[in-house]
């Protein structure tokens, strides 16, 4: 085994001390000692070793750790934590027994107040690196009073572990399924429903899909609970058109789980990492799950997107409402509207809301949600906002407020250019990735906008994810 390499620095002499070597000396398998400075965007500890950034999963700020180098690149290295020489006071014992192998959470080993501080620092670091802003108008992050049991939906693979049928997630970078029964961040009803549906599949001897042989029927159990109604929607993802003993399966779910109001089947025969296929069949009950955010009603089909943490979503959307600062006279364009959640949240305070979304099914859901909520001033369009927005501007319809809530990859450059050309008074940017938020803000700042404030919201406690609402105004 290689000796542990110290975390040294150059002294005042004209050349480094020979014992330290150079960055090029670091090789895979070397043992190193690193002082951790911060948490990275994926939840890893970040320190520096011989002027290379060192990324170490499981390490916390202010810790001095021993690690084994697993990858070396020109500007960074990754290493596996093997020991802690100086322990952080924020280190706690993860309550989840499969925390390290599951990969669904990244920060359970960190106290919750420290998680919130780390997420604020992730935002600061992103803007310093990508937007060159060191003085950031960052508000204190909005956390949860109880940061457990918040997720209202699970999508768990079904598989076998020896003679056992289990439901879980694949461990990162592997095909090993990790049983996450009783997951601490899922709503307790979700855990109960998923476990009992699994037990019914076992009792009825319904074939479980095998990933490698591509034999079997049931691939995934999807369960979603309405936090306001308490109703549960169950969808079985199958690799076959029909489920054996389907009627008995439906009967037992109805008897054992009276909170279930929808039982659906989605057919996905493809050898694909995508959970859902194109065809969904209602086996029993209501076609849609009723849910509310504030005063806005939503009717959710099995494939419809909806925020996974409704309690924090209300805080996020309240920040969006504050940023939009509507008086009832404004035209709002929601450029990534999905099923209309943000647009419908703003509709009562706006003159008109126009939502744009590329996926036709999502637009259908948005229109239905608008009808259910009585938002007759909200209209939704299938298409690309970077095409529709310039068309509206050319016809004399200029938005007062533009809202964007893009995927993790951020806004596409043509959309940013279209927003800059449209020159709305206010741009509200909702982001699930501080890095792409900072990159896009750099483009917008160069295009004539000013960054007024950023409100981080902890949508996913125990993970490294941080959501932000940023307000930009036209100079």
**Residue 299: how many CB atoms within 10 A of its CB?**
18
Helices 434-446 + 413-422 axis angle, to 10: 40
Task: Report the SS3 class of residue 184.
Answer: coil
Give the span between the Cα atoms of 131 and 144, in whole angstroms.
Answer: 29
Neighbouring-strand partners of residue 236: 221, 265
| Confidence (pLDDT) at 24 | 63
Intrachain domains 4-91 and 129-144+309-474 with the same fold: no
| Confidence (pLDDT) at 106 | 96
**Domain 4-91 part of CATH 1.10.760.10:** no
Neighbouring-strand partners of residue 451: 472
Indicate the fold that domain 129-144+309-474 takes in CATH. Rossmann fold (3.40.50)
| Confidence (pLDDT) at 211 | 84
Closest CA to 378 of 401, 400, 353: 353
Q: CA-CA-CA-CA torsion for 15, 19, 24, 28, nearest 10 degrees? A: -170
- Those residues whose C-beta lies under 8 Å from the C-beta of residue 177, and which sit 6 or more positions away, are 157, 159, 161, 166, 168, 169, 170, 171
| Confidence (pLDDT) at 56 | 98
* Phi and psi torsions of 402, nearest 5°: -115, 135
Helix (H) or strand (E) run with residue 129 in it: helix 112-130
Indicate the fold that domain 153-293 takes in CATH. OB fold (Dihydrolipoamide Acetyltransferase, E2P) (2.40.50)
The answer to whether the CB of 305 falls within 8 A of the CB of 311 is no
The answer to whether the CB of 115 falls within 8 A of the CB of 107 is yes
In the chain, which stretches have pLDDT less than 70?
A: 1-24
* Phi and psi torsions of 158, nearest 5°: -110, 130
| Confidence (pLDDT) at 23 | 53
Give residue limits of the domains in the chain: 4-91, 129-144+309-474, 153-293
Residue 200 buriedness (CB in 10 A; 0-12 / 13-18 / 19+): buried
Instruction: Work out whether strand 31-39 and strand 4-5 pair parallel, antiparallel, or are unpaired.
Output: parallel
Residue 27 buriedness (CB in 10 A; 0-12 / 13-18 / 19+): exposed
Clarify whether 411 is annotated catalytic.
Answer: no
The answer to whether the CB of 129 falls within 8 A of the CB of 72 is no
183-204 residue pLDDT tens: 999 999 999 999 999 999 999 9
The answer to whether the CB of 185 falls within 8 A of the CB of 176 is no
**Residue 132: how many CB atoms within 10 A of its CB?**
10
Give the span between the Cα atoms of 394 and 390, in whole angstroms.
Answer: 6
* Phi and psi torsions of 182, nearest 5°: 75, 25
Task: Report the SS3 class of residue 164.
Answer: strand
User: Which of the following is catalytic: 105, 432, 441, 468?
Assistant: 432
Give the span between the Cα atoms of 325 and 401, in whole angstroms.
Answer: 9
Task: Report the SS3 class of residue 262.
Answer: strand
pTM reported for the whole predicted model: 0.90
């Amino acid at each position: 085994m290689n000796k542990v390499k110290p975390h040294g620095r150059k002294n005042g002499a004209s050349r480094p001390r020979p014992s330290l070597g150079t960055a090029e000396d670091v090789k895979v398998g070397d043992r190193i000692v690193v002082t951790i400075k911060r948490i990275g965007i994926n939840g890893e500890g970040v320190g520096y070793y011989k002027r290379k950034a060192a990324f170490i999963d499981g390490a916390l700020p202010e810790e001095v750790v021993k690690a084994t180098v697993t990858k070396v690149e020109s500007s960074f290295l990754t290493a596996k934590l093997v020991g802690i020489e100086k322990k952080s006071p924020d280190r706690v014992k993860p309550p989840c027994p499969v925390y390290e192998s599951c990969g669904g959470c990244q920060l359970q080993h960190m106290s919750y107040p420290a998680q919130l501080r780390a997420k604020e620092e992730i935002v600061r670091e992103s803007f310093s690196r990508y937007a060159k802003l060191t003085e950031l108008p960052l508000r204190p992050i909005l956390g949860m009073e109880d940061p457990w049991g918040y997720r209202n939906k699970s999508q768990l693979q079904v598989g076998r572990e020896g003679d056992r049928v289990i439901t879980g997630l694949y461990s990162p970078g592997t095909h090993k399924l990790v049983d996450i029964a009783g997951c601490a961040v899922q709503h307790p009803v979700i855990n109960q429903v998923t476990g009992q549906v699994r037990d019914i599949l076992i009792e009825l001897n319904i074939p479980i899909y095998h990933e490698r042989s591509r034999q079997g029927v049931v691939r995934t159990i999807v369960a979603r609970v309405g936090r306001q109604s308490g109703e549960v929607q169950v969808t079985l993802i199958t690799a076959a058109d029909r489920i054996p003993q389907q009627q008995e399966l439906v009967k037992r779910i109805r008897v054992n789980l009276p909170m279930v109001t929808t039982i659906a089947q989605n057919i996905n025969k493809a050898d694909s990492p995508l959970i859902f296929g194109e065809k969904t069949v209602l086996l029993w009950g209501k076609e849609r799950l009723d849910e509310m955010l504030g005063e806005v009603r939503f009717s959710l089909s099995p494939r419809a997107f909806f925020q996974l943490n409704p309690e924090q979503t209300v805080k996020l959307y309240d920040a969006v409402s504050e940023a939009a600062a509507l008086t009832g006279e404004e035209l709002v364009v929601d450029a990534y509207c999905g099923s209309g959640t943000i647009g419908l949240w703003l509709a009562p305070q706006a003159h008109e809301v126009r939502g744009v979304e590329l996926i036709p099914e999502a637009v259908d859901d948005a229109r239905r949600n608008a009808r259910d909520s009585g938002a007759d001033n909200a209209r939704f369009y299938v298409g690309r906002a970077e095409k529709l927005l310039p068309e509206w501007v050319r016809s004399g319809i200029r938005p007062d407020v533009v809202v964007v809530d893009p995927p993790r990859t951020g806004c596409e450059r043509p959309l940013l250019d279209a927003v800059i050309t449209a020159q709305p008074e206010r741009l509200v940017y909702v982001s699930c990735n501080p890095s792409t938020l900072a990159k896009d803000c750099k483009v917008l700042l160069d295009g004539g906008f000013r960054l007024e404030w950023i409100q981080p919201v902890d949508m996913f406690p125990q993970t490294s994810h941080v959501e932000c609402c940023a307000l930009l105004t036209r100079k």
